[in-house]
Every structure is written in structure tokens, then in C-alpha cells.
A and B are shown apart, each in its own frame.
Chain A
Amino acid sequence: MKISRKLYSYYLIWPALLVYSVFFVVPAIIGLFYSFTDWRLDRVGLNFIGWDNFERIFTDKTLLLAIKNTLIFAVVTVIGKNLIGLALAVGLNMRLKSRNILRAIFYSPSILSVLVISIVFTPMLRSEGTINRIFESVGLDFLAQRWLTDPQIVIFTVAAISIWQHAGFQMAIYLAGLQSISKDYYEAATIDGAGAWRSFRSITLPLLLPALNINLMLTLIGGLKVFSEVFVLTGGGPGNASQVVGTIILRSFGEGSWGLGTAVNTLLFAAVTVIAIPLLIFMRRKEVSE
């Protein structure tokens, strides 16, 4: 009797594929179509206008600023979330009595609603808020800033809050990765006379690459798609200083420029794909086997 190598029929993929198509693939394709039209609130019909919407994106100062801010936010948060998340994970993988409670504490911000975080942080970040008071009380007056109202630093403030919130989540993924590394390697390394740094660099880091991979992907995609943090903390302000692509999409829809809004959305989708997929392939190649 021939044993089938297939455990389940591929037909089982249909329900999931159907849901995925109806709610993602089809809207994405329709969106692509609309982004080449002048679809607007106050027009009955719509016309095909070629690349006009995209041309407008790259000539509008506010939109360019939003793209710049999005890239700043993505880079800063990818670095911050991963460095801090990794440091926390390595620290809390050691034999500490309080490590379970500490893990819970560092993870907890990531389950809070961003709205709650905004309500907590906004008063603290005022000119006369807690954070500036602390700086002033220890004589570091020059560090006191208009955190959310200075156009030069506002996007970094929002990024910092996002790092604070999500570093614990990245930590959890790194911890899972760390715990799957066999202790034998470290023992062998210690016998060979390797120090802590050497062990980290030659054992931990290479074997942690799968976790690093996933974390980089998640933080990068999350960073490029940022919306809620900016929306609740600054609304894109002051003026347009902290606009990101996500808030610009909302603004375009609010102005009734639906075609332009979908074009920005399409561009974001394309950018995320173009950046994320090659990076994923590149990082996968670097992964090593135990």
C-alpha cells in the first residue's frame, strides 16, 4: 500500500485563502487602482490621472516631511527597541531572584493602550512637567526641553515613548531565543577560556539570529507603519512637525482627497515590501545551524 506523503489535502487552504483574499488581497488591488484616480469626496465620477497623485506626494513639502519623519521614527525605534530589548533579555536570562517579576514589569507597558500612555506621558512632557522638573532639580536644566511642542525634537520624543512601550515585547522574543541555546556551548567556551563578551559575540549572537530577524522585521514594519503613537500624542503637530505617512493618509481622507490618500497608502505598502523582503532574505542567509 502506498502511503501518502501529504498529511492533509491542499484544499484545506481554501477557507483561509478566501478570507485573506476578500479582506486583504482584493482591497489592496482595488486600492492600487484608486491611487491612479482623482477619486474625491465632492465628485460623482472618477478619472484615471496616471502618476499625478504620486507626483504630488513627492512635491508636497508636508508629505516629504512626513516621509522623512517616518524614516527617522523607523530607524530610531528599530535601534532603540532592539538594543534595549536585547540588553533586557540578556540581563533577565541570568539567575536573578527577582527575574520573573522584572520580566513582567518590563513587558507590561506593551499591553497598555497607546491612548493610556498618551494620557500618562502628555502631562509629564509639558514644559513645567515632571520630566523637566526632575532635570531641573538635579541641576541639568539644559536637558529640559519642550518635548512635545518643539518641532525639532517632537518626533524623537514620540519615538522614545514607543521604545519605552515596546522594548519589553522585543525582550520577550529575545528571551525565548536565548532559552533555546544549549548551555553546553557556554560550558565548552568557558573551558576554552572565553570571557563573557566573547561568549556573547560568538555563541549568543549567532544563535540568536532567528529571534533578531523577527524582531528587526516587526520593529521595522511597525516603525514604517507608525500611526497611533503620533496621532494620540501630537496629532501630527505642532503644525505639521510630527506628521508621518500614517497621519498624512488620515489627513488626506479628511480633506476628501481619497485618491491621494490611497496613493500614499499604496506607496507605504510598496515601501514596506521593498525594504522588508530583501532584508528578510538577507538575514535568513546569515542564520546558522546549531
Chain B
Amino acid sequence: MKQKTRKIAAGLLGGLVAVSLAACGGGNASPGASTAAGGGGGDTGSSSGGSGTTIELAISKSSQDSAFVQQDLLDAFEKETGIKVNLQLLPAEQTATVLQTKLAVDETPDIIQYNLASATTDLNLERNFEILDDEPWVSRLENKEVLSAYGHVYSFHVSQDTGMQGVVYNKDIFDELGLSIPNNFEEFLAVCEKIKAAGITPVFMPYKDNWAANVWPAAAFADYADKNEPDLFEKINSNQKKWSDVPAFADILQQQYEVYEKGYTNGDLLSDSYDMAVGKFLNKEVAMMFMGDWLIQNVAENDPNMRLGLFPIPYTQDAKLGASPLGGQLFIPKKAKHMAEAKKFLDYVARKDVAQPIVDKQKYVSIFSDVTTPELPEYKQEIVDNYITPKKTVLTVDAHMLVDRSELYRLLQDEFAGGLDAQGVLTAWDEKFAQLMKDKEVEGF
């Protein structure tokens, strides 16, 4: 009788093998092709640094609209130098993991696009990446800071335009209802009430994507510290103070929850994701959202007549606009197999005649002294006039974080799922934060 178990098991095993073989066969096409391309280049180019080489550029799939990986740019670069750029598109939610692994096992791409602030926490910048201080384009930089960490230029970009974070709002809806920009939390709730009465969802919270729940606190915490305790994050990062020791932090989290509790948001906020936001604004279903100004750009790409603007997170009187650290920089790993060619690519993109069209098309604030900034769209000009020029911006908490923040995002999501209250979020984050800092061997933990 045991024979029967064996027979069935053998049959199953056979089936599984067949299925797995079929899967291998199907999936083979793309990785195979890219390896072949990479391998083919490897033997010709490594010494001379010239034509026939293929360099690998790794980028998150969610960033595939990046100006640096547009086919016409890559084609023009290949035509001039003979160096082919092969793209490795990484799945968005695994970008960090895949890159960490590649760096750990020395299978490094030649160029990586990543956010500088996250690269310092996720990818161990100092150990893994080349310092670019001596590159020819560095002398033309107007703003070295946005490409630097630990006092060195580690990354490359043609823009110095850091994303701004606050409340994205529909100006037309505000005009129609006779509303003005709220200047504190009570005014904000009053604005929400009026918008709700008009049958429009006041605030869209797509908190299925838990990072979106971080926009409100990231700007508000930073503004609070800036006004009341400028060295607060230094203290937190050296374990002299805990997140839960700051009563204002709990109040700020509670405020965001209150907006939801009072019914001013989409009902099923833990099922709604960020990718729905553009559609919600285009359909005028929602009036506001706690987000960065990149959302305004995305909406404008779909409908240039849509008038959206940005105001600071109104957690208190006269808050400053949150400025996120610049993202989307290019990095060269220390162990890049084609270091010279990778640097050549940066040189090429930095050239005035190449950088200018990119800056023009993307409406960037140029980082190079000899590349001119194009006329900015209305919303961006407003941000420059009302916030950047009068210095009413503050770097968000993200700029001060030394460790991975995704657990904080999950805890914020848990607040809306009903699992934790505001103080509970901070207490739980303290515990995780201390563990992560300890693992990172930060002094004081």
C-alpha cells in the first residue's frame, strides 16, 4: 500500500518538474538577452574604455521615466562614443533589496540611479560608491550640497530642484467655493468642512501605500523642530531623546488621524493606492492631498489646464513648506566593471549641449552654472516666489534619518487600521528605531 503513496508522490513530482521546466523556458528570454549583451561588451571594452563596450545602468521600474534613461539620449551617447548603455529595470518594491544584493556579491552595475538620502541609509554610500569630487563637471555645479554626503560629491544630476512637500490642492475648487489657503489646523478643518458640504472629498489619503501617510508628519515634525528645538534630530540620532518624548509629534500624528476621523477623506483609505491620485484630481473627485509637487507635474502632463498648487502642512500657524532631499541621482559603484565608461556617460550628460535640452524638457532648476533654467510652470514659480526665495522651506525628517524608515510607514498605516494610537506609533517606532540604530552601530545606542 505504501507503494501507492510513492506512486502518487512520483506523479506529483513529475508534474512539478514539468511545470518548473516550462517556467524556466518561458522566462529565459529577457535575462538571457541582457546577460549576452553585457558579456559581449565585457571582453572588448575593459582596457581601452571606448567603443564596443556595454555599460549596465540599474534603475527602479518606477523611475523609468527618468530623463537619464530616455532612448534618444542613450542612442546619441552610443553614436558618439560607441558605448552602449544597457538598462536593468528593477521591480519597484524590491529595488533596494536587489541593489543591496548586487553590491554585496560584487555583481555591480556600472551606474545606479537612486535617491541620495536613501542611498546613505540603504546602500552604504561610503563603502560602495565612488567619490566624484574630481570629475570635470563638478567645477560647474551651482549647488554641490544636493549631490554630496559626508563632505564629498557622491552623485550626479542636472537638476537641483528638490521636491517640495505639503498639501497639493485644486485652485479651481478653492476659487469656486471662495476658500483661501488655511494657515493653521482649525482653518484647515473649516476648509475641509466646506469642501465636503459641496460634495467633494476634501482630502485623498491613498494609505494602502504606507509611505504616503508619512508626508504630513515628515514635514510637520521638521518644521516643529526647526522652530522649537533646532538640535532635536541630533538628539534623537544620538539617543538623548526619543520620538515619543516629544508631545508635539503625537499631536501632529493625531491631527492627521482627525482629518480621517471627521470624514474628510476617501472612505476606504487603506485600499486606495497612490497611483489613483492623478485620476482623482483629473476627475475633480478630490480637492487636496498631502503629497509632493511631483504630483502636480504628473497631473499637468495629463491635463495642462488643471490648476493645482501647494501649501505647507497646516499643523500650526505659519508652517514652512517641506523640502525633500533631491532624488533620482546617478551613482557609480566602486566596483563598477567599466568605471571609465560610466564616468564618460556622466561627462556626456553634463555637457552643456546635452544637459540644456533635458533641463528644458523636464522644467528643471538647472544645477550647472552654464545651463539656463527654463521658464517654470505656474505652480513652481509660485513655490519659488512664496517659499523658496523668502526661505520658508524646511528639510523634511527624511533628510535627518540614518536608518530605513519603512517600519515607521507601516506603523503610521496601523494607526489608520485602528491598531495603534498616535502615541503608540511613536513608542513602537522608538523600539524599532533603537534596534536599527544599534545594528548600524551608531554611537549612543
Bound-state CA distance A238–B419 (Å) is 9
The dominant DSSP class at the B interface is helix
| CB-defined contacts of A146 to chain B, threshold 8 Å | 268, 270
Q: Decide: B2 and A238 in contact? CB cutoff 8 A.
A: no
A60 → B minimal CB distance (Å)? 8
Q: Decide: B1 and A240 in contact? CB cutoff 8 A.
A: no
| CB-defined contacts of A43 to chain B, threshold 8 Å | 441
Q: Decide: A238 and B414 in contact? CB cutoff 8 A.
A: yes
Bound-state CA distance A238–B436 (Å) is 22
The residue in chain B whose Cβ has the minimal distance to the Cβ of A215 is B8
Known: A210-B8, A239-B414, A255-B404. A148 touches B100 (CB 8 A): no
The residue in chain B whose Cβ has the minimal distance to the Cβ of A236 is B410
Q: Decide: B417 and A149 in contact? CB cutoff 8 A.
A: yes
The residue in chain A whose Cβ has the minimal distance to the Cβ of B406 is A254
| B11 touches A (CB below 8 Å) | yes
| A150 touches B (CB below 8 Å) | yes
Q: Decide: A177 and B8 in contact? CB cutoff 8 A.
A: yes
| B411 touches A (CB below 8 Å) | yes
Bound-state CA distance A257–B5 (Å) is 41
The residue in chain B whose Cβ has the minimal distance to the Cβ of A254 is B97
Return the contact of B122 from the options A173, A180, A214, A256 (Cβ within 8 A).
A256
| B96 touches A (CB below 8 Å) | yes
Return the contact of A41 from the options B4, B124, B415, B417 (Cβ within 8 A).
B124
The residue in chain A whose Cβ has the minimal distance to the Cβ of B440 is A42
The residue in chain A whose Cβ has the minimal distance to the Cβ of B209 is A235
| A89 touches B (CB below 8 Å) | no
Q: Which of A213-247 contact B (CB under 8 A)?
A: 213-214, 218, 235-241
Bound-state CA distance A88–B315 (Å) is 58
The residue in chain B whose Cβ has the minimal distance to the Cβ of A259 is B439
| CB-defined contacts of B440 to chain A, threshold 8 Å | 42
| CB-defined contacts of B414 to chain A, threshold 8 Å | 151, 238-241
Q: Decide: A44 and B127 in contact? CB cutoff 8 A.
A: yes
Known: A40-B439, A42-B124, A256-B122. A237 touches B8 (CB 8 A): no
A-B contact pairs, 11 of them (CB 8 A): A41-B123, A149-B417, A210-B2, A237-B417, A238-B416, A239-B414, A241-B414, A255-B404, A255-B436, A287-B5, A290-B1
- Count chain B residues whose beta carbon lies closer than 8 angstroms to a beta carbon of A: 40
| B420 touches A (CB below 8 Å) | yes
The residue in chain A whose Cβ has the minimal distance to the Cβ of B15 is A172
Q: Decide: A127 and B5 in contact? CB cutoff 8 A.
A: no
The dominant DSSP class at the A interface is loop
Return the contact of A214 from the options B9, B271, B417 (Cβ within 8 A).
B9
Q: Decide: B8 and A211 in contact? CB cutoff 8 A.
A: yes
Bound-state CA distance A127–B267 (Å) is 8
Known: A210-B8, A239-B413, A240-B410. A289 touches B1 (CB 8 A): yes
Return the contact of A254 from the options B96, B208, B419, B441 (Cβ within 8 A).
B96
B2 → A minimal CB distance (Å)? 6
| B104 touches A (CB below 8 Å) | yes
| B214 touches A (CB below 8 Å) | no
Q: Which of A127-174 contact B (CB under 8 A)?
A: 127-128, 146, 148-151, 173
Contact flags (1/0) for B252-279 with A, using CB distance below 8 Å?
A: 0000000000000001101100000000
Bound-state CA distance A28–B1 (Å) is 33
Q: Decide: A128 and B404 in contact? CB cutoff 8 A.
A: no
Q: Which of A41, A126, A180, A251 has the most CB of B within 10 A?
A: A41
- Count chain A residues whose beta carbon lies closer than 8 angstroms to a beta carbon of B: 45
| A284 touches B (CB below 8 Å) | yes
| A253 touches B (CB below 8 Å) | yes
| A273 touches B (CB below 8 Å) | no
| CB-defined contacts of B123 to chain A, threshold 8 Å | 41
The residue in chain A whose Cβ has the minimal distance to the Cβ of B417 is A238
| B210 touches A (CB below 8 Å) | yes
Bound-state CA distance A287–B419 (Å) is 47
Known: A127-B268, A250-B97. A42 touches B127 (CB 8 A): yes
The residue in chain B whose Cβ has the minimal distance to the Cβ of A289 is B1
Q: Which of B390-443 contact A (CB under 8 A)?
A: 404, 406-407, 410-411, 413-420, 436, 439-441
Contact flags (1/0) for A273-290 with B, using CB distance below 8 Å?
A: 000000000001001111
Bound-state CA distance A19–B379 (Å) is 60
| B12 touches A (CB below 8 Å) | yes
A-B contact sample (12 more), CB < 8 A, given A214-B8, A235-B93: A41-B100, A128-B267, A148-B271, A173-B8, A176-B11, A210-B4, A237-B208, A238-B414, A238-B416, A239-B413, A253-B100, A254-B96
Contact flags (1/0) for B338-358 with A, using CB distance below 8 Å?
A: 000000000000000000000
B16 → A minimal CB distance (Å)? 10
Q: Decide: A284 and B2 in contact? CB cutoff 8 A.
A: yes
B442 → A minimal CB distance (Å)? 10
Q: Which of B82-128 contact A (CB under 8 A)?
A: 93, 96-97, 100, 104, 122-124, 127
Return the contact of A126 from the options B9, B268, B417, B436 (Cβ within 8 A).
B268
| CB-defined contacts of A237 to chain B, threshold 8 Å | 208, 210, 270, 410, 413, 417
Known: A127-B271, A254-B96. A176 touches B420 (CB 8 A): no
| CB-defined contacts of B124 to chain A, threshold 8 Å | 41-42
Q: Which of B203-230 contact A (CB under 8 A)?
A: 208, 210
| CB-defined contacts of A108 to chain B, threshold 8 Å | none
